[in-house]
Amino acid sequence: MSGSDHRATGHASLPGHVAIIMDGNGRWASTRGLPLLAGHRAGADAVQRTVRAAISRGVGWVTLYAFSSENWRRAPGEVADLTGLLRYYLRHKVAELSREGVCLRFIGDLARFPVDIQEEARRAETVTAANTRLVLVLALSYGGRADIVQAAIRLAQAVGRGERAATDIDEATFAGALLTAGMPDPDLVVRTSGECRLSNFLLWQSAYAELVFLDTPWPDFDETHFDTVLNIYSRRERRFGARPA
């Protein structure tokens, strides 16, 4: 179900779905005179803290922008470090997440990753499928524009095959063709490390999300920062295009 299907205006309380652009690993490492990989490892620790915070606060969905489609353009060494770190966590941390009641899902062009990572991702989804405390979505090789384009292609092909009429396509139909089909739209999108842009993340899905930008680099993000963004969200008035009361 799309989050837009159950909108209610007024002051928000607890977001059902928090999406996070995890930014600042490189700058965090640079300011400490550490190699870039150290920043990515510290960022992975921040992911674990965030998962625990979301569970304890009762947030049902967290989506993390773990690897964008543009990240493939980075230096080969950094891409290798990122994929190696992903491989390690898929192999060694999924069981721990499952014990904590986390259901793992992946969105993005996973076919660009090595075959073993694709297999580990599918295994992680299968192993954690029955868990209900938190749905953790990892956006890997994901781009919002590419997501919209592939949805348009899928619907155009369905029209071409005579399976649906073009005039029957509405927002709900289009949302159902996105990689996030079946997921609620994010209520809150957070970006760390002082940048104030979405960087091609969940562009369609974030149409009515509340946006919060923090100066804190991602490796320093902890439960206190998670509470901070929840408190900011709770003071926002969500109108979904309606006039204020």
- CB of 144 closer than 8 Å to CB of 200: yes
Conformational region of residue 24, where left means phi above 0, alpha means psi within -120 to 50, and beta covers everything else: left
Q: Which helix (H) or strand (E) holds 67?
A: strand 61-68
Distance of CA 64 to the CA centre of its chain: 3
Binding annotation for substrate: 24-28, 40, 68-70, 72, 74, 191, 197-199
Picking from 144, 206, 176, the residue whose alpha carbon sits closest to that of residue 19 is 206
Binding annotation: 23-28, 40, 68-70, 72, 74, 191, 197-199, 210
Binding annotation for Mg(2+): 23, 210
Q: How far apart are the first and last CA of the chain?
A: 27
Distance CA 222, CA 226 (A): 6
Catalytically annotated residues: 23, 71
Query: How many helices and strands (H and E) does the chain possess?
Result: 8, 8
DSSP string, 71-83: GGGS-HHHHHHHH
